């Protein structure tokens, strides 16, 4: 038997007026002549975003959801070079502390998926510098919440830059330029175009980075369609982590738009995964990447409850 916990990404389609990603553009910020007033606007929007994150966690608790991906856009302009002197962590400390305390009190697993421009195998020094700076921002948010930041940031490997093998080796070279505390936040996901499961396992096993298996991405990008042959190795990459195995689940929008995420998750496809991996590890947290967010989770739960082989604990937590 394995315990499975379902989660969803960043925003709810059911909780209204609850965006955790409200923003302030640099144009708006720089148009405010009084810098203290401009910083006050940033602080106000960030506090509103954190409050909405807390509302989402409360919604999740009421629904029995223990797994949630936080928005990376909680603090507007936090990584802008002109705001390097703004100590947002201290400014927002009480709100972040309340958010983290709530998540821990109710035993919720939270984390981030930094944006696609955060790439660690880039050949450009400035891009690597900005990527690391962005990871420091995520580290700061996690520690402000009082969270152990270990393995809380999902990344893709990056671009191929015309030579995928060389780009894989450059990831290893650049990895050595990153401080251990930031290295420790990172987990790697296979993508839908360039770096497949075998590529990610090469890095994960060499650098001791947990591998987040994306079922949909594997279907779109693989050397061998049979993902089960890699599963034991994927699970073993988590032996260096305090966290249980994590994976991503989504369905193709259509045959013509196979890489795009559908509104909902195909329950039969997901059950194929569940029954194959059951018993291989004590717990797997499954992040739903569907356009309908929490509504997709609730619909999937409804469909899974029709299966007599599944034993339910609460809301979005079950055993099989």
> What would the mean pLDDT of 112-140 be, rounded to a whole number?
97
> What would the mean pLDDT of 289-299 be, rounded to a whole number?
98
In which band, very low, low, confident or very high, does the pLDDT at 30 lie, cut at 50, 70 and 90? very high
pLDDT at 114 (0 to 100): 97
The CATH superfamily label for domain 3-16+79-87+109-319 reads: Divalent-metal-dependent TIM barrel enzymes (3.20.20.150)
**What is the C-alpha separation between 271 and 174, in angstroms, rounded?**
38
For the beta carbon of residue 81, count every other beta carbon within 10 angstroms.
Answer: 8
Cβ contacts of residue 173 below 8 Å, gap of 6+?
A: none
**What is the C-alpha separation between 137 and 255, in angstroms, rounded?**
38
pLDDT at 171 (0 to 100): 98
pLDDT at 124 (0 to 100): 97
Instruction: Read off the pLDDT of residues 208-227 as tens digits, 9 standing for 90 and up.
Output: 999 999 999 999 999 999 99
What average pLDDT does the structure give for the chain?
97
In which band, very low, low, confident or very high, does the pLDDT at 195 lie, cut at 50, 70 and 90? very high
**What is the C-alpha separation between 129 and 87, in angstroms, rounded?**
19
pLDDT at 137 (0 to 100): 98
Phi-psi domain of 158 (left: phi exceeds 0; alpha: psi -120 through 50; beta: other)? left
Q: Are 249 and 316 in contact, with CB atoms under 8 Å apart?
A: no
pLDDT at 13 (0 to 100): 97
**Predicted TM-score (pTM) above 0.85:** yes
> What would the mean pLDDT of 5-19 be, rounded to a whole number?
97
Domain ranges of the chain: 3-16+79-87+109-319
Q: What percent of the chain has pLDDT over 90?
A: 99
Tokens of 243: 């966290």
Q: Please, what sign has the CA dihedral across residues 8, 11, 12, 18?
A: positive
Task: Classify residue 189 by its DSSP letter.
Answer: E
Query: 3-class DSSP state for residue 213?
Result: strand
In which band, very low, low, confident or very high, does the pLDDT at 45 lie, cut at 50, 70 and 90? very high
Instruction: Read off the pLDDT of residues 130-145 as tens digits, 9 standing for 90 and up.
Output: 999 999 999 999 999 9
> What would the mean pLDDT of 40-49 be, rounded to a whole number?
97
Length of the chain: 320
pLDDT at 150 (0 to 100): 98
pLDDT at 186 (0 to 100): 98
Instruction: Read off the pLDDT of residues 271-292 as tens digits, 9 standing for 90 and up.
Output: 999 999 999 999 999 999 999 9
pLDDT at 279 (0 to 100): 98
pLDDT at 308 (0 to 100): 96
pLDDT at 175 (0 to 100): 98
Angle between helices 35-62 and 93-105 (to 10 degrees): 10
Query: 3-class DSSP state for residue 85?
Result: coil
């Amino acid at each position: 038997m394995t315990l499975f916990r379902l989660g969803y990404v960043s925003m709810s389609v059911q909780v209204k007026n609850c965006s955790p990603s409200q923003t302030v553009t640099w144009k708006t910020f720089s148009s405010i002549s009084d810098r203290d007033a401009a910083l006050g606007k940033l602080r106000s929007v960030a506090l509103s975003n954190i409050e909405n994150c807390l509302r989402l966690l409360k919604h999740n608790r009421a629904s029995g959801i223990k797994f949630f991906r936080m928005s990376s856009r909680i603090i507007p302009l936090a990584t802008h070079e002109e705001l390097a002197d703004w100590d947002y962590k201290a400014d927002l400390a009480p709100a972040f502390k309340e958010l983290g305390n709530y998540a821990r009190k109710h035993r919720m697993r939270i984390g981030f998926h930094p944006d696609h421009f955060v790439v660690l195998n880039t050949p450009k020094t400035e891009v690597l510098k900005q990527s690391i700076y962005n990871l420091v921002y995520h580290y700061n948010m996690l520690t402000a919440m009082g969270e152990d930041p270990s393995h809380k940031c999902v990344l893709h490997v990056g671009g191929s830059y015309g030579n995928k093998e060389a780009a894989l080796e450059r990831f290893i070279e650049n990895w050595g330029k990153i401080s251990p505390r930031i290295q420790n936040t990172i987990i790697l996901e296979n993508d839908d175009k360039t770096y497949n499961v075998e590529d990610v396992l090469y890095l994960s096993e060499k650098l001791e980075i947990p591998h987040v298996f994306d079922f949909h991405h594997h279907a779109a990008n693989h050397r061998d369609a049979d993902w089960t042959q890699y599963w034991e190795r994927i699970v073993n990459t988590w032996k260096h982590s305090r966290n249980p195995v994590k994976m991503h689940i989504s369905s193709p929008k259509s045959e013509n738009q196979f890489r795009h995420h559908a509104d909902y998750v195909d329950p039969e496809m997901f059950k194929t995964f569940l029954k194959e991996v059951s018993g291989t590890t004590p717990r797997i947290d499954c992040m739903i990447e569907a356009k309908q967010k929490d509504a997709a989770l609730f619909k999937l739960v409804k469909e899974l409850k029709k299966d007599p082989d599944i034993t339910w604990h609460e809301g979005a937590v079950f055993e099989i």
